[in-house]
Amino acid sequence: MQKALLLFILLGCSSLATAQNRYFVLFKDKAGSNFSLEKPSEYLSSRAIERRNKQNISISTNDLPVNQSYLEILKEGGAEVLFTSKWLNGAVIEIDKNDLNTVLGYDFVKGLEGEYSNGLEGPNARRKPNTKDYSYPVFFDAGASTDQLQMLGADVMQNQGFTGKGVLIGVFDSGFPNAPNLDVFQNLFNEDRVVETYDFVNQEENVFNDHYHGTHVLSCIAADLEGQMKGTAPGASFLLYTTENVFSETRMEEVNWLIAAERADSIGVDIISTSLGYSNFDGKEQDYTYSTLDGNTALITRAADLAASKGILVIASAGNEGNDPWKFITPPSDADSIISVAAVNSDGQYAAFSSLGPSVDGRIKPEVAAKGVATTIASPNNLIGAGNGTSYAAPLITGLAAGLRQAFPDLTAMELRDIILKSGSQAGQPDDKLGYGIPNFLRAYEMANIQSLISSTDENILVFPNPAENTDFIKVLIANEELGNSFELSLSNLSGQELYRETFKRNYFELPLLQEVRPTGTYLLKIWNENFSETKRIFIE
């Protein structure tokens, strides 16, 4: 896949070690921009534009790059511009604190999003107390990843040819050391399916010399070593971005995530997978509280929802805080338009360390679950081992989503999200541990087919197959959602004899072909409620 050539403003790559004062300055407008909504190809790839068009998402003002003249004025005033954000319309700068008031006095400056540490290791830094790593490298027999694929039906998905081919996934993590040299990734790199890499912490392209966590995570999706390990989407393409600084915990990492998401959007990413969460920081004054899990407060949460608004499916680990005093999900899992993922063991039972919901405003969180206990992973030392954590459950779901995206390329990201949730093992009774439960490819595949049927018809009711031959069921779909959600159904022969009657409270129903209707012939299927009544002829062959 050819790498997109886009406007990507990453300025000021001088030594981070000397950075002292970092601020996210917001602008009032994009007046006088060199770019326009009428020429999106100047700042979005054709793939990004196509994704929007398919989902009827308009190019909007927050897609426009920030005003270049504003950046020049900032630099003339002594600021070093590190990143720009088109979605929030601002820039991350480094400047002496004594000169900050001058910047805030510019007539185009709206104010500050925040002040940030540069995130380097120091005497007050703490090494990720809220991101636990339970990995333990061990040797496995061939096919150690089989059960985590089977749990989701991903083995069936791949047998049907859906490996995520053509789907672009952005993985945001702490680094991917030695990934190009690992056996499980040889197909990935030999086929040039790593489209781009970038380290937003150190501002460099190399992501293969950082922290091992991202390598573990990537293997859950992309591993492809026959007989030993397969990820859930071994045929997908990837953007590999380092946004997490493991040597400390600061809100700058949320900024890194935002900028990475904007970059991934511009290239044309389909899915963002992130096994990162933020609640506690160096310096307690910036810690989030449960009351801030409202889907609108944390910067990374807002960034995740903005990505979703561009037609990107965002999948995040729920967190490993279930046994801790915090115990709840961590941002960005509280975002309302993404999928947050809990962990279960090989028996599908809740893992005690998995973070709990709901969000503070009562939304179901996490949404789904996958194997996060003794999950098969690949390590930078070229061993296949195991690890515990929602960090590994989330990428397993990401691969499932990629296979479904390949199978149903016309679904919107929100339709795909909805289908994955509804395919969950406890979709009828979601809870604050596993949400809608463990999703399954075959259930999701059938639902996606139904969604496609609904989108392609103007009829109120669809009955199929019709004529029916060599089948034990006739499927009935109420395609018009305005008709309600509770229906009566009766099946009669042409003599008026009622052979079958049922009440159902959903828009999809499988009518068993009982012995009474086995004979070849024509029958009348009546469906009604207080809003409507309709009769269909069905033919049994």
Tens-place pLDDT, residues 290-304: 999 999 999 999 999
User: Which residues touch 105 (CB under 8 Å, ≥6 apart)?
Assistant: none
| CATH value at residue 523 | 2.60.40.3080
Instruction: Determine the average pLDDT of the residues in 232-237.
Output: 97
With vertex at residue 291, the alpha carbon angle to CA 265 and CA 316, rounded to the nearest 5 degrees, is 30
Reported confidence tier of residue 516, pLDDT bands at 50, 70, 90: low
Cα–Cα nearest to 169, from 226, 229, 204, 220:
220
- pLDDT at 435 > cutoff 90: yes
Reported confidence tier of residue 157, pLDDT bands at 50, 70, 90: very high
More confident residue, 127 or 63: 63
User: What is the value of pTM for the model shown?
Assistant: 0.86
Q: What is the pLDDT of residues 330-375, one digit of tens each?
A: 999 999 999 999 999 999 999 999 999 999 999 999 999 999 999 9
What's the whole-number average pLDDT of the chain? 89
Burial status of residue 318 (CB atoms within 10 A of its CB: 0-12, 13-18, 19 or more): buried
Are 295 and 423 found together in one domain? yes
For residue 288, being part of any structural domain is answered with yes
For residue 132, being part of any structural domain is answered with no
- pLDDT at 493 > cutoff 70: yes
Candidate from 134-143, 203-212, 270-279, 392-401 with smallest mean pLDDT: 134-143
Candidate from 161-175, 242-256, 269-283, 506-520 with smallest mean pLDDT: 506-520
Name the one residue in this structure whose structure tokens are 């954590």. Answer: 389
Pairing of strands 339-344, 313-317: parallel
Distance CA 536, CA 523 (A): 8
Among 407, 434, 453, the domain-final residue is: 453
- pLDDT at 398 > cutoff 50: yes
User: How many domains in the chain?
Assistant: 3
pLDDT of residue 25: 97
For residue 131, being part of any structural domain is answered with no
For residue 297, being part of any structural domain is answered with yes
Write a three-state SS string for 294-363: CCCCCHHHHHHHHHHHCCCEEEEECCCCCCCCCCECCCCCCCCCCEEEEEECCCCCECCCCCECCCCCCC
Among 96, 116, 136, the domain-final residue is: 116
pLDDT of residue 517: 59
Task: Give the long-range contacts of residues 119-123, CB within 8 A, separation 24 or more.
Answer: 119/201, 119/245, 119/247, 119/248, 119/250, 119/252, 119/253, 120/16, 120/17, 120/19, 120/245, 120/247, 120/248, 121/247, 121/248, 122/248
Q: Is 483 helix (H, G, I), strand (E, B) or coil?
A: helix
Are 278 and 424 found together in one domain? yes
Which residues are the active-site residues? 173, 213, 391
Distance CA 231, CA 158 (A): 10
Q: What is the pLDDT of residues 121-145, one digit of tens each?
A: 443 443 343 344 434 444 333 378 9
Q: Is 447 helix (H, G, I), strand (E, B) or coil?
A: helix
Reported confidence tier of residue 47, pLDDT bands at 50, 70, 90: very high
pLDDT of residue 518: 67
Percent of all residues in the chain with a pLDDT value above 70, rounded to a whole number: 91
Are 327 and 447 found together in one domain? yes
Are 428 and 476 found together in one domain? no
* Residues spanned by the domain of 492: 461-540
For residue 98, being part of any structural domain is answered with yes
Pairing of strands 339-344, 271-274: unpaired
Structure tokens at 109: 């400056």
- Give the CA-trace dihedral at 53, 54, 55, 59, to 10 degrees: -10
How many helices (H) and strands (E) the chain has is answered by: 12, 22
- pLDDT at 442 > cutoff 90: yes
Are 241 and 166 found together in one domain? yes
pLDDT of residue 405: 98
- pLDDT at 16 > cutoff 60: no
pLDDT of residue 123: 39
Instruction: Determine the average pLDDT of the residues in 4-22.
Output: 42
Are 156 and 94 found together in one domain? no
Alpha carbon of 38 to those of 41, 86, 269: distances in Å? 9, 17, 22
- pLDDT at 283 > cutoff 80: no
Are 373 and 498 found together in one domain? no
pLDDT of residue 7: 35
For residue 266, being part of any structural domain is answered with yes
pLDDT of residue 406: 97
Pairing of strands 461-464, 473-478: antiparallel
For residue 494, being part of any structural domain is answered with yes
Omega within 30 of 0 (cis) for the link into 180:
no
- pLDDT at 319 > cutoff 90: yes
pLDDT of residue 6: 35
Are 288 and 181 found together in one domain? yes
pLDDT of residue 321: 96
Among 453, 482, 509, the domain-final residue is: 453
Are 151 and 245 found together in one domain? yes
Task: Give the long-range contacts of residues 53-57, CB within 8 A, separation 24 or more.
Answer: 54/311, 54/409, 54/410, 54/412, 55/311, 55/412, 55/413, 56/412, 57/309, 57/310, 57/311
For residue 73, being part of any structural domain is answered with yes
Instruction: Determine the average pLDDT of the residues in 246-269.
Output: 96
Omega within 30 of 0 (cis) for the link into 177:
no
Q: Is 391 helix (H, G, I), strand (E, B) or coil?
A: helix
| CATH value at residue 79 | 3.30.70.80
| CATH value at residue 248 | 3.40.50.200
Are 350 and 472 found together in one domain? no
Are 173 and 195 found together in one domain? yes
Instruction: Determine the average pLDDT of the residues in 437-452.
Output: 92
pLDDT of residue 450: 84
Tell me the residue ranges of DSSP E strands in 1-79. Answer: 22-27
Are 447 and 467 found together in one domain? no
